[in-house]
Amino acid sequence: MVVHFADGRTVKGFSHDFLPTRSTFQLILAGSDQTMEIRLEDLKAVFFVKRFDTDGVDRPRDDIERFGLGPKVKVRFLDGETLYGFSASYSPDRKAFTVVPGDPDSNSQRVVVVTEATESVEYV
């Protein structure tokens, strides 16, 4: 996973106790046996990626149709980044929700978005 903090920092690693409904989780830092406690309230999003060895840039594509993944959404983060994908779990009352990227070639398999880090979420 690649953890994106609201302040712009990113950290790569693995977790055995991450749940989007919990307020904290332990991240085992990539390439190390060190752990770091992460607070959900400090985050923008958690990207579950296929590989760490890419530039990390996913192209925001809104022209992809993937069925069975929930309604198509456009997520605009407070920092200006936009994410297009599908979410069956979005609710403005939840602390976080999951988005499956619209681009099937994306390095991200799914993204857990922290609701407070969004400017807007709209169905498209």
Q: Which domain covers residue 96, as residue numbers?
A: 2-51+58-123
> How many other C-beta atoms are found inside a 10 Å radius of the C-beta of residue 33?
6
| pTM, two decimal places | 0.88
> How many other C-beta atoms are found inside a 10 Å radius of the C-beta of residue 106?
22
Tokens linked to 78: 């407070």
pLDDT digits (tens, 9 = 90+) for 70-118: 899 999 999 999 999 999 989 999 999 999 988 878 899 999 999 999 9
pLDDT digits (tens, 9 = 90+) for 28-79: 999 999 999 999 999 999 999 998 876 545 555 555 555 556 899 999 999 9
Give the total number of structural domains in the chain.
1
Question: What does the alpha-carbon distance between residue 100 and residue 102 come to, in Å, rounded to a whole number?
Answer: 6
